[in-house]
Structure 1
Amino acid sequence: MTSSSKFPFSTAAVKWPALAAVAVLGLSGCSVANSDGAGGGAADTVRVVLGQEPPTLEACESNLTSTGVVVRSNVTEPLIERNPQSGELEPKLATEWKATSDTEWTLKLREGVNFQDGTPFNAEAAAFTIDRAVNSKLGCNVEGYVFGDADLDVKAVDATTLTVTTPEPDPILPLRLSFLEVVPTSTSTTEKVREPIGTGPYKIDSWDAGQKISLSSWDGYWGNKPAYAKAEYQWRSESSVRAAMITSGEADVAMGLSPDDNIGDLGVDYPNNETVALRMDANEAPLNDIRIRQAVNYAIDKEGIVNSLYQGKHQVAAQLVPEGIVGHNDELKGWPFDLEKAKSLVAEAKADGVDTSKQISLVVRSAQFPKITELAQVLQEQLSQAGLNVKLKMLETSQHLTYQVRPFAEDDGAVALMTQHGNQAGDAAFTVDQYMLSTGAQSYFGTPEFDAMIKKADAASGDDRQKAFEEIFAYQNDKVVQFAHISHQTGILGKAKSVNYTPNSSSGDELRISEMTPAS
């Protein structure tokens, strides 16, 4: 980091590789005919249609796509943010930061900022936010996803100075802090809140359950006033319905569209680092035998899936992160489709006493992304052809989360969970720590040797960090095989001609209304 402005701290910009992030959601809906997509709502309101209703708008759950797409940088804001185009860390509620020892970081905070309830933003609120999200027993998703088991020692030195101390040296702590959306000290510490109070350009006006969420611009915002006075969110489960709402003028922006939704020139492709994979439970037969997990990988026709369901817009995946993320291993190739090899591995395991007839639950979240139902059915059929007993379980979001994040839901047998993972931060630690550590928030299992490799990589920097994570992804595919990777996705956003907005690699996780303007 280089020095910035008058304060002798590090710059507020730290270079990280340009990442991607997106998500695609789902729930219910209906819609209508076609027009030129000119938009028909009030001129001061932007109407967004999502794939699903957010389960909550709680700030410490904002790294969940369905929550963050409404909350992040609209209602709430972080101390530090990552520029999706440049990959740099930039100031938000913190203006500068510096490592002041091997384990301590000191941040200078922005002055003159208030929360939407009128209380001042200061170091006490920043420390409270970190304690609440990371050190408490609330079970915030951001804790497991970003910080793992590590508690942080936070101290408000004065109103505008905050220190954060980590148990071990952490070269990417500022990047981790970019995932924390700041809330006032009045926020409950004993339960998660449905609607947060933030410092962002918009405040929550109303949430009509099952219908819509309404935001309005906040006059007390410390930054530039947004162009749109209001934002309204609705949700429809079918991507074709969301596309039709754009072409008919019922909506201005639609998330998570499919290549075959007939959106025409109102559809915008944008960078998307979401990766689709099956995460396999190795604690139950037959998936507790590595040969069965290998068979699952061989049985999936990834090229066929990409070409038939997604018109070739996606890429076959060989690891949980795409190109551009620190740690991505360019040498890895996707498992080849080899049904006969899959069958022989299943037969070999069966001959050695593995109960290959035991049921595997293929757990899938309804409307998580376009064509997910069709994909689930294809996977069930392909795994069945390999000689496995697969039962498809389509679940809504809250049910699916009980399988996705610890403590995992109990099932009658082994589970293969379809996951859509987006590394919004651009560093493999945010993937590996949660999905591959033995105790990771979204990991079924691991080994002591693998855990040691991960811990070593987490502490490394520069070229050593890149190489260490490359080795981790290779080791996963060779020795662990918790995952059957399917594809790296590409996002499509629908946009009415009445709106100026260029989606970027963060749009699926934090759709910033303040970056939208009415077309002249």
Structure 2
Amino acid sequence: MNFRPSLRSRCGLASAALMAVSLTLSACGVANSDSAGDAGDTVRIVLPQEPPTLEPCDANLTSTGVVVRSNITEPLVERDPASGELQPLLATEWKQTEPTTWTFTLRDGVKFSDGSAFDAEAAAHSIDRAVNGTFGCNVEGYVFGDDAIEAKAVDATHLEVTTVEPDPILPLRLSFIEVVPASTSDTAKVREPIGTGPYKIEDWQNGTKLTLAVNDTYWGEAPAYKKAEYQWREEGSVRAAMITNNEADIATGLAPEDISGDAAVRYPNNETTALRSTGTYAPLDDIRVRQAINYAIDRESIVDSLFDGYADVASQLVPEGVVGHNPDLEAWPYDPEKAKALIAEAKADGVPTDTKIRLISRNGLFPKVGETVEVVQKALDDIGLNVSIEMMDTAASIEYQSRPFPKNTGPYIILVQHGNQAGDAQFSVDQYMLSDGAQSTFGTAELDAEIKAADKAEGEDRQTAFAEIFADEPEKVSQFAYIAHMTGIIGESDNVEYEPNSATGDEMRVTEMKPAK
């Protein structure tokens, strides 16, 4: 099936300065017509798992973002997944007015779904809440790290955002901040958020289903569907069967064997699957052991046999199209004998290589995740390590994936799947490779300095700096064993028209769906 573009249709969007960051594929949504779903006005979506939260400041979590982002809440600006350019949304214009200050002109006349007005106070509150709050917003670590930000309302339609250091990609960072009313708690997360998006939460039956209804106060073009109903089933074959049996219109996270024919829609997503090792517990605190893990993984076999060839062997954390991707890197070679030799060498030096290592992954992370973990376990056992598998639900696995990590965990390896939706390597490197990154367990002062310098670079210098980091990390730190750049598959019934794009895994915009003609 051809990949066609997909970008929400807007009425009267004002022009804005555009920032290019990466290339993928995209398209245009359309307006109302009759057909599909219950009573012809509901699109039915089945997910691999229930969202653990609908808190907007956690919307960069895939399982939350597919429901929340651009459906319930919206950011100031959004990135076009086709061109990589930033486009106006709740902000119509933005410019760097001082080296450390950006000024945003906001859209006038927008209301939240509760009827309250969107203005600069709400925007400032949303930024401060997500970035400077103390209740653990995931977006803080993912996008901003420890960076301090001051957001100030100049008047109702003008916002100033100031950083400590000049930040050439601040508008791109702010595209991850979902805007909520100024009345939203700044000391606790919310279960059912209020937003400016085309939909609002109608009903959430915990463990059963979640229903969104059209937001009648929405400022943009009316969506084709009056409602979106989400259900969740862990097994991909079950989700696919719901398409076949006309119990769902769209099913996400499918494997090639789950569904075939016209109902199977493949698309290039931006996810990279990798193993991340802790570096603070023996034997994983020895770089020889971490590099042995890299040698032990037969990436080609995993891609061919488990992913049916619908993935590319990965040599780095970001795929082609992301600023900083290094096109000259080759995947770590498969050499189990070299891996065994490194383990034996470490053991001879007193490294306790027989210590049990926990291999952690999340149920439903991607199709055949269970089989993938079993293949990895056998590969590591075969080179002389002692590895035990622990499969967890989303809430439990997040504790091991993001800071603050649980204490006294002992050595563990976690299978992660990282999507760089922003199109710039800084969003991957800062969180996964800095010593204190949100999803990094360790690093080095040398690599930290290299990353900080790259973060400040612009243009071609930025591309070169991040490409060098991806070349250096495997040799100097080796926190990761990259496996594959993934390809997504969704199921679609004959009732609906929807073209997925590289952002679909992170945010699935219901406004881009329409009943089939």
**Correspondence for 1:188:** 185
Q: Residues 385-435 of structure 1, C-alpha deviation per residue, up to 9 Å, x if partnerless?
A: 010000111111111011011111235521111100000000000000000
Distance 1:219 1:40 in 2: 20
Q: Does 1:500 align with 2:497?
A: yes
**Correspondence for 1:283:** 280
- Which of residues 406, 411, 416 is equivalent to 1:409? 406
Distance 2:168 2:244 in 1: 47
Alpha-carbon shift at residue 103 of structure 1 (Å): 0.7
**Correspondence for 1:153:** 150
Distance 1:116 1:244 in 2: 35
Q: Does 1:53 align with 2:50?
A: yes
> Contact conserved, 1:12 with 1:95, CA < 8 A, in 2?
no
Give the aligned residue type for 2:130: A
**Correspondence for 1:172:** 169
- Which of residues 464, 467, 486 is equivalent to 2:461? 464
Distance 1:137 1:443 in 2: 20
- Which of residues 69, 88, 98 is equivalent to 2:85? 88
**Correspondence for 1:137:** 134
Alpha-carbon shift at residue 20 of structure 1 (Å): 8.2
Give the aligned residue type for 1:279: R
Q: Does 1:15 align with 2:53?
A: no
Distance 2:199 2:379 in 1: 47
Distance 2:167 2:192 in 1: 32
**Correspondence for 1:33:** none
Q: Residues 90-125 of structure 1, C-alpha deviation per residue, up to 9 Å, x if partnerless?
A: 000000000011110000000000011111000000
Q: Which moved more, 1:108-117 or 1:408-417?
A: 408-417
> Contact conserved, 1:206 with 1:215, CA < 8 A, in 2?
yes
Q: Does 1:351 align with 2:356?
A: no
- Which of residues 142, 153, 159 is equivalent to 1:162? 159
Percent of residue pairs identical? 62
Alignment of 1:333-344 (within 5 A): 333-344=330-341
**Correspondence for 1:44:** 41
Q: Residues 237-270 of structure 1, C-alpha deviation per residue, up to 9 Å, x if partnerless?
A: 1111111111111100011111111332201111
**Correspondence for 1:202:** 199
Distance 1:352 1:19 in 2: 48
**Structure 2 SS opposite 1:98:** strand
> Contact conserved, 2:43 with 2:227, CA < 8 A, in 1?
yes
Give the aligned residue type for 2:457: A
Q: Residues 300-332 of structure 1, C-alpha deviation per residue, up to 9 Å, x if partnerless?
A: 111000000011111111111011100001111
Give the aligned residue type for 2:321: G
**Structure 2 SS opposite 1:46:** strand
Distance 2:45 2:17 in 1: 32
Alpha-carbon shift at residue 338 of structure 1 (Å): 0.8
Distance 1:356 1:424 in 2: 37
**Correspondence for 1:452:** 449
**Structure 2 SS opposite 1:117:** coil
Distance 2:334 2:22 in 1: 32
> Contact conserved, 2:36 with 2:516, CA < 8 A, in 1?
no
> Contact conserved, 1:267 with 1:494, CA < 8 A, in 2?
yes
Alignment of 1:75-114 (within 5 A): 75-114=72-111
Q: Does 1:330 align with 2:327?
A: yes
**Correspondence for 1:321:** 318
Give the aligned residue type for 1:184: P
Alpha-carbon shift at residue 368 of structure 1 (Å): 1.2
Q: Residues 219-240 of structure 1, C-alpha deviation per residue, up to 9 Å, x if partnerless?
A: 1110011010000000001111
**Correspondence for 1:26:** none
Q: Residues 12-54 of structure 1, C-alpha deviation per residue, up to 9 Å, x if partnerless?
A: 4222212589xxxxxxxxxxxxxxxx96632100000000000
Distance 1:287 1:100 in 2: 47
Distance 1:62 1:482 in 2: 26
TM-score of the two chains, using structure 1 as the length reference: 0.94
Q: Does 1:254 align with 2:251?
A: yes
**Structure 2 SS opposite 1:14:** coil
Give the aligned residue type for 2:302: I
Distance 1:225 1:365 in 2: 37
Q: Residues 164-201 of structure 1, C-alpha deviation per residue, up to 9 Å, x if partnerless?
A: 01110110000000001000011111110011000001
**Correspondence for 2:371:** 374
Q: Does 1:123 align with 2:106?
A: no
Q: Which moved more, 1:67-76 or 1:10-19?
A: 10-19
Distance 2:322 2:259 in 1: 32
**Correspondence for 2:238:** 241
Specify every segment of 5 or more residues in structure 1 that has no aligned partner in the other structure, as ranges: 1-8, 22-37
Alpha-carbon shift at residue 138 of structure 1 (Å): 1.6
Alpha-carbon shift at residue 466 of structure 1 (Å): 0.4
**Structure 1 SS opposite 2:229:** strand
Distance 2:466 2:21 in 1: 15
> Contact conserved, 1:358 with 1:413, CA < 8 A, in 2?
no
Residues 96 and 412 of structure 1: is their aligned pair in 2 closer, same or farther, counting only changes over 3 Å?
closer
Q: Does 1:395 align with 2:400?
A: no
Alignment of 1:404-443 (within 5 A): 404-443=401-440
Distance 2:19 2:459 in 1: 13
> Contact conserved, 2:272 with 2:483, CA < 8 A, in 1?
yes
Distance 2:474 2:63 in 1: 30
**Correspondence for 1:269:** 266
Give the aligned residue type for 2:18: A
Alpha-carbon shift at residue 504 of structure 1 (Å): 0.8
Alpha-carbon shift at residue 297 of structure 1 (Å): 0.4
Q: Which moved more, 1:358-367 or 1:411-420?
A: 411-420
Distance 1:111 1:427 in 2: 30
**Correspondence for 2:7:** none
Specify every segment of 5 or more residues in structure 2 that has no aligned partner in the other structure, as ranges: 1-13, 27-34
**Correspondence for 2:32:** none
**Structure 1 SS opposite 2:405:** coil
> Contact conserved, 1:275 with 1:487, CA < 8 A, in 2?
yes
Q: Residues 427-471 of structure 1, C-alpha deviation per residue, up to 9 Å, x if partnerless?
A: 000000000111101000011111110000000000100000011
Distance 2:422 2:130 in 1: 18
Give the aligned residue type for 1:178: S
Distance 1:17 1:350 in 2: 44
> Contact conserved, 1:361 with 1:392, CA < 8 A, in 2?
yes
Distance 1:494 1:12 in 2: 37
**Correspondence for 1:25:** none
Q: Aligned residues, how many?
A: 496
Q: Residues 332-374 of structure 1, C-alpha deviation per residue, up to 9 Å, x if partnerless?
A: 1111111111100000100111110011110111111100000
